[in-house]
A and B are shown apart, each in its own frame.
Chain A
Amino acid sequence: MTPDGGLSSTGSLLAVAVGCAAASLWLLLPRGESGLRERAARRFGMLLGAVALALFVATGRRLGGVGEEAVFLIVALVAVIGGAATVVTRSPVYSAIWFALALAGVAGVLLVLGAQFLGVATIVVYAGAILVMFLFVLMLAQPTGMASYDRVSNEPLLSAVAGAVLLGLLTLFIGRLSAGPGECCAVPSKAAALAGSGQPQAPVAPEPPADSAGVDPLAANHVARLGGELFGRHLLAVEAAGVLLLVALIGSIAIVSRTPPDERADAAAWRANA
């Protein structure tokens, strides 16, 4: 397969996939319809979404082994399908539960990419804490059934097209990145940058990517080295993050426990009378 022919066919496949994704999102987003029409639109949208996903899978890069490829495919599909369902589901409670599924998929993708600590932290922090908080607020704020504003969208067609254009541009750029050593988007290596700061030298050959052989360079002693990096080089940032957490805690309590000004004036008048 020549690079040019492969590129153009991949590009057209990607264009079709992005178009299918846009149409699918438009059909699936709530548009204030009901009954048979909505059900038909939903079925057709799911079909188009499946076509788009299959095209994306077909244009994806082949990984080394069949097992690795299957695992990545499954977790990536779980993440993307969960994300799409989060966006298009009418009921916000179901939306939050689909988001939990998407989080599980994202954690799987992170694990496959070699980020063991982050995969587990995503599950613990997001699915364990943040999502439960979302559900709690949903139960507090929406005790009755589906509201009218959950069955309509702001400009579903324009939104779907905007998302598809963004996705198309990003995949186009990513495909070009991997197509070959183009001069336009070659990332300058550290060695070249260091050489440029000192005395002028002969151009340094670009260093090979760290992951050239498909082996994760960060795999050995992963969590220990991540901790060393976090509490060594980024210690100040960790302190700042701790302060941010404290400020958010105090701020949220302060905001939620503040009584409205008119009630406070009433209370003050009542106390003055009594």
Chain B
Amino acid sequence: MTPAPLVVNGLVVGAMLFALGLVGILARRNLIVMFLSAELMLQGVSVSLVSWSRHHGDWGGHVLVIFVLTVAACEAAIALVFVLQAFARAGRLDAAAWQSLRESVLPRVVDRELPASDAAVMEFPRLTPAGVEPEHDPDAALEREHV
């Protein structure tokens, strides 16, 4: 029962996607990125299921992937509602904002000396003004034709 080369390669791709999703869900702190990583793991499982389905000549893997899609849609709807509620309470999407739920023996997450921002300052070109600025009518700004 040696699998075909295509099946083996598909299994390896599925394993890589699953491992990447695992790293993301372990390491990242943004709740939404964590959910994206979970979806990545689901994609890896889907690729593996379809590979095995091809190997066995059976429809089971395909049907399972369809149910994975369904459950992922439900999960995304419910999870995003929870994320929105958590954001409304904590004011940020940080998983460490909920660290009071941790085990009492675990240490706290403390962020020390983060850089303020690593985004480069945007430099926009300044256009030279063309023409002459007309006289402003101060009453025009207060005038309301509608409402």
Residues of A within 8 A of B118 (CB): 34-35, 38, 90, 146, 151
B80 in contact with A134 (CB, 8 Å): yes
B55 in contact with A163 (CB, 8 Å): no
B29 in contact with A150 (CB, 8 Å): yes
Residues of A within 8 A of B115 (CB): 32-35, 151
B13 in contact with A109 (CB, 8 Å): yes
B70 in contact with A245 (CB, 8 Å): yes
Residues of B within 8 A of A62 (CB): 5
B69 in contact with A122 (CB, 8 Å): yes
Residues of B within 8 A of A106 (CB): 17, 43, 46-47
Tally of A interface residues using CB under 8 Å: 109
Residues of B within 8 A of A125 (CB): 69, 72-73
Look across to chain B and name the residue whose beta carbon is closest to the beta carbon of A206.
B1
B19 in contact with A226 (CB, 8 Å): no
- Which one of B8, B23, B53 contacts A25 once the chains associate, using CB atoms below 8 Å? B23
- Which one of B1, B22, B23, B66 contacts A121 once the chains associate, using CB atoms below 8 Å? B66
Taking the closest CB of chain B, its distance from the CB of A158, in whole angstroms, is: 8
The answer to whether A201 has its CB under 8 Å from any CB of chain B is no
Taking the closest CB of chain B, its distance from the CB of A148, in whole angstroms, is: 5
Taking the closest CB of chain A, its distance from the CB of B11, in whole angstroms, is: 5
B26 in contact with A245 (CB, 8 Å): no
- Which one of B46, B84, B109 contacts A141 once the chains associate, using CB atoms below 8 Å? B84
> Contact flags (1/0) for A129-146 with B, using CB distance below 8 Å?
110011001101110011
Taking the closest CB of chain B, its distance from the CB of A114, in whole angstroms, is: 6
The answer to whether B139 has its CB under 8 Å from any CB of chain A is no
A130 in contact with B13 (CB, 8 Å): no
Residues of B within 8 A of A25 (CB): 20, 23
A248 in contact with B77 (CB, 8 Å): yes
15 chain-A/chain-B pairs, Cβ below 8 angstroms? A61-B6, A79-B17, A87-B20, A99-B36, A109-B47, A142-B93, A150-B33, A151-B118, A152-B111, A153-B29, A170-B18, A210-B55, A211-B6, A241-B71, A255-B85
